[in-house]
Amino acid sequence: MKYKLLIIIALVAVVFITVLGISKEDEDTNIWKMMKLVNNVSVETYRNYVDPIDLKKFTEAGISGMLKTLDPHTQFFKKRQYDNLKVSTQGKFEGIGVVIGIRNDVLTVISPIEGTPGYRAGLQAGDQIVKIEGKSTKGITMDGAVDKLRGPRGSLVTITIKRMGEPKLIDYDITRDVIEIKSVPYYGLLENNIGYVRLSRFSEESGRELRDAIDELNEMDIDGLILDLRNNPGGLLAQAVEVSGAFLPADNLVVYTKGKSTFQDKEFNTRMDGLFKDKPLLVLVNNGSASASEIVAGAIQDHDRGVVMGQKTFGKGLVQSLIPVDDGQALKITTAKYYIPSGRCIQKEDYLNKSSSSIISEYSSTEEDEEYTDEYEEEIDEDTISISDSDTTGLPVYYTDNGRKVYGGGGIFPDITYEPEKLNRLDIELERKGMFFEFAVDYTVEHKDIPTDFEVDDIILSDFKNLLKEKDFSYQTRAEEELEKIVELSEENKYSDSTNYAIDQLQARLEHEKERDFDKSLEYIRNGIKREIVAKLWGTEKRYELVTVKTDKELQRALEIMSDKEMFNSYLVAP
């Protein structure tokens, strides 16, 4: 057993052989010879290296090194990562049901999940969890906190809370239960009898949750529906097909896959007529809509079932197979590509032609793999949206069922482009540092009975400014960042006194401009304050109903288009 972990590296490559269908006799690859080399290097290094080797880290580094030469979606999951992946796809776990975070170095309840043990027990947003099972949480990590709060259904956990406005600590004995994470956090009726459904993920229950929402909206006899897939990172392929099937007739192609091995070539069709297959449909997407979201949006667009609005989607169209390996760990391996009904491949990145890629010799570039060299980023920066997102120059052309032109090259290009207003640095920092959240926690201690139709007036704004001062809130504008570089250059190069004086003057001017940022962001700040107060007092659904759908400018524009049938239909006709 001494060298058990070492041979995992060899096993990884053997799995690749099985998945990709590479034969032992492959003259180009000569995989068995290579694996013998890997095994020999690993064993000899372990036996002869001068210092003790952490075998686990050594092995994981070898695995990581191999997989880094492939595409960024092929990954090795440690047990905790694999467990988290299963939670995200299953949409459920066993615990108390709270969203937690580290705020001011203290473990804090961000929000209790409605209907869970934590919610029923009375935990509130802003509660500081100072002890778990009598032990201090000072210095605890998020992973450590999750480990302590999660546990088998029916088991008991005691947490100690420090709550704003309460002089003493409060102990809660909470019995854990199965916690379901909603894929549809909100649905409802908007103006002009238009329905709205927010789909935030594709887990095992997404199709059922969507059907339930549509059933209820159909009972209201809605005239149209807006499906919101913005910032939905995707999930299970089967659920993408099921969600698409809610809007399409039976036997419509949703997506197909192509891989190196023929058993990866599959077609996925709708099984029966959708619950909402005839009335107007608009799908909202953005740069954060990926994978399963792109399959749904692409199928709806290609079949001319509805209009897609927003920004070009992420462009994640690689199929991964999940293979459990040793001790609760797993490999996620790219085995195929997604293609939507028009023939477009969703995948944006030219992952085969990276200079560091070990698979460049395995494949030759094809027309479908032309030189699109967008770099992959796991997180979308909402503050920077590429100007080229709507540029289709030189991209391959495909056609929808009605003969409308659509474009390949990765991602889904919307029928209606809508560029949201960019957040300025103040807005970003207020969100990043949780200032709206902290204010809501503080403010609602003394204002529990405010009406749901309250507005953020000058008195509330003044209280918010006071909180920013108390918390020593500060931020640096982009202009200040650039000026800081100039100051450093001045010191290095010993600029003249007159130049330094000019720099000082510019600093003073920028500080004056910074004071005006609050007024420039007034609308955003009012909405942020109201959003968090409503969420704190009345929960997620009320936050959507009272704030989000009313202040979301893109959603309001979509509502205008849906309310004008002639305008809406014009987007579905080939020029």
Distance CA 456, CA 451 (A): 12
| 266-269/397-399 β-pairing | unpaired
Q: What are phi and psi of 88, to 5 degrees?
A: -65, -30
Instruction: Of 560, 563, 554, give the one whose Cα is nearest residue 231.
Output: 554
Query: Coil, strand, or helix at residue 62?
Result: helix
Residue with tokens 């003073």, as numbered in its chain: 508
Look up residue 116 and give its DSSP letter: S
What are 406's strand-pairing partners?
398
Count CB-CB contacts under 10 A for residue 76.
19
Q: So which residues are the catalytic ones?
A: 291, 302, 316
Query: Coil, strand, or helix at residue 319?
Result: strand
Distance CA 305, CA 297 (A): 10
Determine what percent of the chain falls in helix, strand and coil, rounding each to the nearest 5. Answer: 40, 20, 40
| 194-198/106-112 β-pairing | unpaired
Residue with tokens 């269908």, as numbered in its chain: 21
Written as six digits, the tokens of 188 are 């409802």
Distance CA 393, CA 412 (A): 15
Give the list of residues 6+ apart from residue 340 with CB closer than 8 angstroms, or none: 254, 255, 294, 295, 298, 299, 302, 346
| 98-103/281-285 β-pairing | unpaired
Distance CA 316, CA 290 (A): 6
Distance CA 287, CA 378 (A): 12
The C-alpha angle with vertex 66 and arms to 64 and 70, in degrees rounded to 5, equals 100
What are 179's strand-pairing partners?
93
Give the list of residues 6+ apart from residue 220 with CB closer than 8 angstroms, or none: 189, 193, 195
Instruction: Of 222, 239, 211, 229, give the one whose Cα is nearest residue 188.
Output: 222
Distance CA 502, CA 480 (A): 14
Give the list of residues 6+ apart from residue 237 with CB closer than 8 angstroms, or none: 255, 268, 292, 295, 319
| Residues constituting the chain | 575
Instruction: Check: CB of residue 251 under 8 Å from CB of residue 273.
Output: no
Instruction: Check: CB of residue 71 under 8 Å from CB of residue 351.
Output: yes
Distance CA 143, CA 126 (A): 19
Instruction: Check: CB of residue 310 under 8 Å from CB of residue 335.
Output: no
**Which whole-number Å values give the CA distances from 438 to 19, 120, 125, 164, 529, in the listed order?**
50, 23, 9, 10, 10
